[in-house]
Amino acid sequence: MASSNPRATPRQRTGLWGEREAERHLTAKGYKILGRRFRVGLRDEIDLIARIADTLVFIEVKTRAGEDFGRPFSAVDRAKRFHLARAAVRYLQRLKTQPGSFRFDVVEIIGAKNGAEPVVRHIENAFPLPKYFRVP
């Protein structure tokens, strides 16, 4: 697993831990995880892809030790949303059957791997697909 990679930076290890915490939280809520770290090109990546009922959910996970510099969600800026949306459209293009609906969620993880239980905030439907993208 990537977290055991001795070349992983502390930031990468923190991010992987946050993704595992988000996955645990989502699974407990009934989400089925379909994919992890789906990458298209150099910048387009989706941390988690899940399904709940007939909705496909593209999930960005933001992990921070604290909120001294604002909420983790604030890092999902316009450029990040663009890259997430482009990766999502490419993912949808590869599907044989299109989902009933899809959305973009953000999961905030606040804490540290060896610390107290992290704070997990799941922001459903965090942003829409930008209008200049076309869905298959």
List domains and CATH numbers for the chain.
2-127 (3.40.1350.10)
Give yes or no for residue 1 having a pLDDT over 50: no
| Average of per-residue pLDDT values in the chain | 91
In Å, how far are 33, 74, 86, 87 from 19, measured between CA atoms?
12, 17, 21, 18
41: phi > 0 → left, psi -120 to 50 → alpha, else beta; which? left
Residue-wise pLDDT tens digits, 11-32: 888 889 999 999 999 999 999 9
Strand partners, 33: 50
Residue-wise pLDDT tens digits, 59-84: 999 999 888 888 999 999 999 999 99
Identity at 20, one-letter amino acid code:
R
